[in-house]
Structure formats: C-alpha cells, structure tokens
Amino acid sequence: MAAIYTENLNKAYASFFSKQSETNALKGLNLEVKEGETFGFLGPNGAGKTTTILLLLNLIRPDSGAARLFDLPVTDSNVHRRLGYLPESVNLHDYYTGQGLLEFYAALLDVPIQIREARIAGLLQLLRLEDAATKSVSKYSKGMLQRLGFAQALLHDPDLLILDEPTASLDPVGRKEFREILVDLKKRGKTIFISSHILSEVESVCDRVAILQKGELKRVGTLQELSAGKSTRLVLKNAPGVVLEALSQTAAEVTMLRGQTTVKCVDTATREAIDRLLQQHGIQPERSEVETQSLENIFFSSIESPPRL
Amino acid sequence: MNVIFLIARDSIRALLHQRLLIGLMLFSLAITIFFSIVMSRTRENITSQYADSGVETNSAFSKMSEEDRRKMNEAMEQGVSAIQGFFYAATSFGGSLVALWIFSTAITSEIRRGTIRLTLSKPVSRFQYLLGKYLGGVAVMAGYAVISSLAVFLFSTSSHVELSPAMKYAPWLMFCRQLMLGSVAMLLSLFMHPIIGCVIAFAAGNGLCSPNNPFYFLLPSYAPFNVFGQILQGSIMRGSDVWLLTLYALDFVVLMLLFSWWRFRNKEVC
C-alpha cells in the first residue's frame, strides 16, 4: 500500500481579475511514496512543493486529479490520525505554553491520557525544549518554534511524517539532531516525506527523491538511479596508434598518461560508438567506470536554469 | 463531541487573549455600569427634587398630597424607563460589536495567522472545527451577557430601582440576537473581508433594510428581539413569545451554521 499516492493532480491559482494570469502550481502530478520510505521532494521556489503538501492535507482542493493517503482519500479526516505535519512557517497558538500547546494537540490527536504526559515530556526532552516547557509560545525563538512544531508532529507517533522545509530555522546543531531523529524514525519503519531546499540533508536521509519544477515532475527515483550519470570513463592500456587516431575522431574526450588512455564518453551514443570501435580492433578496456553525480548536480541538471538577469 | 469541545475551549482561550476584544468588552461593561449608576442617581434626583419642594425626608413621603405622590412616581418611572431604555440600547450595541468581532474573526483570524493548518492537519473535520469555533464564541458571549445582566441586577437592587418588566427577558433576547448576528457575521466572513461582513450583518438586520429591499428576505430581521419600545412603555411580552423568538433564533443560527459549513468545507484555508 502506498503511503502517498497522487494521480494527475492539477492545481491552478486563479487571479481575481483575469483567468489568463492564473498560475499553474501543479500540472498532472503523479507520485507514489511507499510505506516505510524516506522521500525527498525537491524543487526551486514556486515549484509546487508546498501546494502538493497542502493538497495532501486537504487544506486546499485540486482542480482535478486525486490524492490518497494510506489508500484513503485525503478528504477523510480520519487519515490524519496516521499523519504528522510540520509546516514551512510554524505558526502556533501563542497563548499557550509549550507544554500546554502539546497537551492541546495531544488531546485533539486522542493520545491516550495515561501516556500523554510521558510522551510530551519525552518529546520536550528530545527536542531540547524542557526548560522552555512552561514558557509562553509567544516568547519562543524561531528555532524553538520549529522544534516545538516538530514535537507536535511526533506526538501520536504517526506512520507518515510530512515535513515542509523542516530545518529552515534550525542552527547546525539543531539540523544534526533533527537528522538523527529522522534516521531513528526511518529505522522504525516510518514513512517520511521531506520537502527541502537543503540538498545535503535530503541526500543523507532519503531513499528516493523527486524533483519538481513549475508544477511538473522532472525526475523521480532512488539516489542511485538518479546519480548514475550518462557519462562513462573507459581506461585502455597500451592502445595501438590506429585506435588512438580513430578515438580522436569521435566525440569522446581522450587523454593519455604513461601509456594509459582514458576515454570519457559524455553520452550514450558516444559510448556505443566507442564500444563498436574497440570491438572492431579487438580491444577490451581495462576498466569501465560510470560517473556518479551528486544530488546537487542532479538537481541542477534536472531543472531549467532561470534566465540571467 | 470531544473534538468540538476542545476546539471550543481553545477558541475561548484565544478570545480571552485578544486585548482589543477584552478592551471592547470592558468598555461595554463600563457603559452598563455607567447607565446603572445614572439610573440610581436619576431616582435619587427625582426624590430630592420633590423633597426640596416641601417634602424633607422619606418619612414625610406619607404626608405628601395624593397628587404630588402621583406626579413624583410618574416622573420617576419615566426617568428610570428612559435611562433603562438607553442602558439597554447601549448594552445591546456594545454586545453586538463584541459578537461581530468574536464570530467574524473566529475562523478568518486563524486562516490569516496560519494556525488553522496545524489544527486541521489533526483528525478534526471542518464541521467539528466550525462548530467548535462557534460554540467557543457562544460561551464567551454567554459570559458577557451574564456579567452585564448581573451588573444591572446588582445596581437596580442596591439602588431600589424597579426594573421595567421587559428588562427581565431583555438580556436573553439580546443574547439570542447577538448569536444570530454572530452566525451571519461568521458566514459572511467566509466569503468576504470580515469587516465588510460585519457591516452587512449588522446593517441588514437593524432596520436599514425594509421589505422594499431584496436583502430583507435573505437576511434576518432582528427587530422582534429589540425590546427598547417595551422598556420605555413598561409593557410586557408573553412568555410564549419569548419561547417562539428563542426557537426562531435557534433555527436561524442552525441554518446559518449549515450555510457556513457548506462554504467552509470547500474553502481553501491558506
């Protein structure tokens, strides 16, 4: 069963005055996040990440298409029993104390009263908020609000966590701690859906990532799948002159060093041409390496560059 | 039911932390107390006026001629009725402002501040949320009505002023009217800016609309709940009429809440 499933999800924000100036936030988004998976949702600003999350939470309605969580339509509020959500900008009721706010949310989530107190105390400790527990939320710093927001998302030990820019207001120590909590949740088989700008963070915890731009899904796959670049490097030992000459006629980059020839094929077509050429001359490459890309490279190669100013 | 209660409790808490609202409520209460004082002073003034004209002490009241006594009682009744009428109008207006404030901002302020996102990400249906918010407002309005009624009762008892018969059910009808007004304001706030919604909700049922105006048939008439005339004339309303008006208010509120829910369940809350 998919924890998150969207089918041809479309959403446009209409302008009040003109239909022409409406913004297509999502264009036919098809997404599937399996249970137990840690899924990174990437994209530049305005890509439609937050819109997707708001649709999944039923806070806004799609123009067309469907979204389901654990096989239930997102319009069913019961599905929220299995869901924890941390919004991008954590706006909390500032008339509570930190502990009071968690008690309110725990009651809404129907956390059994016998374990409620211990659960809240545990989360306050985990997120280093125990000293601020009795302080009014209005006096919390941005980072503390983010941590309190994370605590409320974990209150009922949800099966699915939807985190929108979860570390935006955290300092490096807070980010590290947050990553450790995520790793722990991942080990416990929780499904985590993270929308983030911080690629290193996504890279370190996510099993699969999706890259979204202008409401369209550009790429989706495991980090291995996405990072397997098209570029390959072949290493030849003592290649004859005729072969070297033939290689120099191709689109491949050829470098020679101490009798070792390195042939870099930047695309599949070049690689196929080189393979044929080597076969004709009966040469077997000493080794063949597929160049991997960092998530940052994948990200930038997937999205269209913005126009230069 | 528990969820509705929790949302209502949270709503009360939120309302009681709004300084402007508390200021408005205190101001309305101050008006209530002011008119209560004026009411008792009026009685004292009239009594002393007659005392100056020959009747020195209360014990001498019995020595007054029948005509003087009648005139004094009439003047006192008129003065006190007028003050009660003004008091009622002021309290009613203040209460209406409080109701409009509470109900028009109940949901919209949460949307504006973004706090609704977290609440609705919990297993809370939109119906539960809306009803909880409305009931929270009702509880605050009930508290306000009780306090202002108590203030009148205490002042009238302490200054031995006999209240107009209509004043006995005026607070209840005022409360019903404010709940109706609030339900309209809440509904309209889901369609338009809350301030515009408040103006329409207030104006629509306060005599600005006549049967010539199409809005008259769409929006409620709060006129039967206004007992200003009965207070001035000292006339009374039958208990059955009060019950009927209560039922009308209840029906009306339920209808407005259903419309609000219809609007709110599809409303984008971001």
Instruction: Judge: B124–A83 Cβ closer than 8 Å, yes or no.
Output: no
Separation CA B113–CA B16 (nearest Å): 17
Task: Report the DSSP pairing between strands A23-34 and A2-13.
Answer: antiparallel
A78 interfacial to chain B (CB closer than 8 Å):
yes
Instruction: Judge: B123–A81 Cβ closer than 8 Å, yes or no.
Output: yes
Q: Specify the CATH number for the domain of residue A186.
A: 3.40.50.300
List chain A residues with CB under 8 Å of B2. 107, 110
Indicate whether A231 and A273 sit together in one domain.
yes
| CA torsion, ordered B82, B88, B91, B93, to nearest 10 deg | -100
| CA torsion, ordered B100, B106, B109, B115, to nearest 10 deg | 170
Per-residue pLDDT of chain A (309 residues; tens, 9 = 90+): 899 999 999 999 877 666 566 788 899 999 999 999 999 999 988 889 999 999 999 999 999 999 999 999 999 988 999 999 999 889 999 999 999 999 999 999 999 999 999 999 999 999 999 999 999 999 999 999 999 999 999 999 999 999 998 888 888 888 888 999 999 999 999 999 999 878 888 888 899 999 999 899 998 988 777 776 667 888 998 888 888 888 888 888 888 887 789 998 888 888 888 989 989 888 888 888 877 777 777 787 777 665 555
ipTM above 0.90, yes or no: no
Does a structural domain hold residue A220?
Answer: no
Residue with tokens 């994370």: A150
For chain B positions 95-124, those within 8 Å of chain A (CB to CB) are 113-124
Q: How far is A126 from chain B (nearest CA, A)?
A: 21
Separation CA B165–CA A30 (nearest Å): 69
Helix (H), strand (E) at residue A257: strand A253-257
| DSSP secondary structure of A20-71 | TT-EEEEEEEEEEEETT-EEEEE--TTSSHHHHHHHHTTSS--SEEEEEETT
B270 interfacial to chain A (CB closer than 8 Å):
yes
Contact between A22 and A12 under an 8 Å Cβ cutoff? The reply is yes
Contact between A74 and A67 under an 8 Å Cβ cutoff? The reply is yes
Indicate whether A81 and A197 sit together in one domain.
yes
Indicate whether A162 and A13 sit together in one domain.
yes
Largest CA distance in chain A: 81
List chain A residues with CB under 8 Å of B136. none
Q: Which residue of B has its CA nearest to A11?
A: B268
Of the residues A153, A188, A214, the one at which a domain ends = A214
Torsional sign, CA A221, A226, A230, A236: negative
Indicate the residue of A91, A92, A105 with minimum beta-carbon distance to B122. Answer: A105
Q: Which residue of A has its CA nearest to B4?
A: A108
Q: Specify the CATH number for the domain of residue A258.
A: 3.30.70.980
Q: Which residue of B has its CA nearest to A86?
A: B118
Does a structural domain hold residue A308?
Answer: no
Indicate whether A113 and A135 sit together in one domain.
yes
A120-133 exposure pattern, b = at least 16 Cβ within 10 A, e = fewer: beebbebbebeebb
Separation CA B193–CA B191 (nearest Å): 7
Instruction: Judge: B120–A93 Cβ closer than 8 Å, yes or no.
Output: no
Of the residues A193, A214, A235, the one at which a domain ends = A214
